[in-house]
Structure 1
């Protein structure tokens, strides 16, 4: 957020700077157009203005032109050859002469709003002095002597004290006026000792007319006093002033925007924090001995510490949560980001609460927010079937226990497929998702999560829901799932339960690709080595006929043809028929 605010600040300041430069630049081009207009009104037989060519150079480098840093014309000195001597008004290069200009002064000269010095003296200019000159409020020096203007001074009135040291009488009509140039005479290369504190007018015969600001006689008719000092009457704004005002306004606007964004961000963060706190609640489906709160559950897991982790799966890790000595839960922490508290998640998980069976783990409650998602189950102290098979202790060799586990899982799947409406497809049946209690009762876990959370994110999963080695071939190839895909996975689990092999056992590596526990079991049967399928000691303790029936059931569950595979209801019926005496 800070980077965004900084970028916005820099962007707006760049805009203000660009706007100001654009304004100055446009004003400079405007002055160039005025100079070209003046050139067109002059006759120039000697080529004095030959450098005034916009295609060859910048107007600020033209002969007689001086500009400020904004390309605005501040001085225009085009003095012709001066045939008078003894003048105490000197300009740079006044000793040299490039010729005289003729014609008239265009009224466009009044558009040079930044000009301080205008000297067109000793040329052959005629016509009337444009009244627009008198509107140049920044004009400090005007020298038009030595020309042949008509109409006298054209109604010029000036005020303030009279210059007593100037005697520039000229038989030709002419006019020059200058005001204190002491502060900027040097920058214009005009001798400051000659121009400092001098105010005066030279007319036809040296008659002096008082003045400070050039005005027309019409002003007197409007009631203006000849002796009034109206230097404070300036009301117009110059481009540089406009640009400064615009830039300042933009900066103030930027600051206001930044303040508003800052306050809004703080408020947003504060509201977000409140929402997170409010969302930290547990939705409970089953009454617990101790009321469950978010903090109670998370603290019981050791804040999801590795020491309390009891299993990893495609949907997340499971943690033991000892809320009290007699109240232990299993908390499956899900991968955040799939639903992020979406209404669909709440609806799906609430539907699972209605799925109840003696051989399904009990969903006690859940928590779902943008920062944390977990499911709460009853804790089963016997671990999972995967560890049970690996250990192969004495109970793992008893047929009664193995049969009971196979029947419990079959009953749970039959319930999901036949009695739930709509039916629930597990899609990830494997030994690690089958839990045991201390009496070797089996409970199927993670039912409904494949649909709820989508494809598992585990590295051992396929592109569909499920785990390599347990996924039905038609599901893996077409992504079309049915309850017969669960039947296939169940058959793989039964083969692992009765043998010493895993679904993709390392010993299969010497065979062709695709060789798995199903291929191995078929090979053993075809070679008359059925007893070698069973884990060591199990075949000897029997009953062998029942063991063979279970083997055939597992192989029938894993055939490619879906129509030949039994339903889980049929599997339950067969297992019940060969059920041994009670434990």
Structure 2
């Protein structure tokens, strides 16, 4: 099969999304300009290929169902360089997260064109220059954090006209001039200005002149009254200034207030503990970037230690998932808490406030399957995953997925089956994580591409083309994950292009099988300590799970049986007969979906079942 053929087939089958229009071209150009202006030493932007796919499929980009970019999530990405004016050409952008990088230069005036922006997070960079007055046009802006930069000049008074503003952190810059105390700044907004030596609070207005009177006694009384009024005004503004100052000082360490909603529903969540926000702030050192364990489409995960010494993982859902739907959230949280299985990550508790939704899980000392597969390339001195352990992981993950599909009522579809969501206990027992988030957030906008949620390389073809998800889309994702476990390769990796290889793992595996390069399939970390027959069986299961026709894929309970040695030979033989029949009756052209199989019967009948 020609390189990238599967991508072309899927794109031809998919409906034409809005990003193919002029607005989409504008967004692609804007993001490409940003990529070109920054240095990316960790290659975190490797998927930003304008000639390959839409921006909605790029990592760290979120789109709405219409295909417009709504979020750029590149905090802690080790980027350096400058912000570009083209960022102002993303009309639907709501969240711009570029915090804790090494960005320099100024903040472009053009960011004031992002009228839908809800959160602007540029803190902990090296940005200089003044704060653009144009940011006052962002009437939907609720959170603006520009702290820990080198910004100078005054605070634009236009910001006081942003009524939606809830959090404004300008601390630790080089700002000077008056702190305006008008408009939204007088409301209960989390303001923080400390660390700017040149800032002073706006002076009080002068007292009104005393009206002339015909007698000295009248002038005396008027003077006393005027003095009292002036003194009261001075006292009022002094008190207000002190309040703002201390709120700012306090706000640097406690940005959110844990106040239960007045109409919070009374629900019984059984064994789940309700944590206070303060507990989880203390446990994670105020959600310190140093405690980040990982990040995904739903938010970031932080390592934490509770007051009793227990280690936990705290998932902080993104802000757009934090408003409304409180009753639905609690109802589904209760349902998910009842999904208890040896191979599912247990939910310990939760926290909800007006601005936050957090989920608390046990901490997994062995991390994720993805982190262990990548340990060698990161130079980490940890025990490698041997073949016996990999078989154990494959079986555990399959059992967890089978439970979600066939024993939960209603069934739960994972939506993002991948190595990063398979967590490893102390004995390397696999547990599925994030299985409930797809259900909790299903009514919100998607993570990767238009109405599709998932990760590039794991998305089933019918889900990509129609947006319709089922348990069989999870089966496809499991098959790709199984190939990751065998090969140690990523499901989608542009780096393979450097060696003239397929960027999609499934295509790469089929190419090696066709070219009789089986020894290159096995992860070198296994160091030859594996059983060839068992490797072949797992490859067969993976390819059965990744068939183009969803109806042909086995249920996860059948996959569990095949992993335990039941029914694989019969299923594999039947699959080969079907593929041989299709290959003789259907032309293998790029316009035919069967091309996605790459004449798999001709590959596998020889390579896996024939003589070696």
Structure whose alpha-carbon radius of gyration is higher:
1
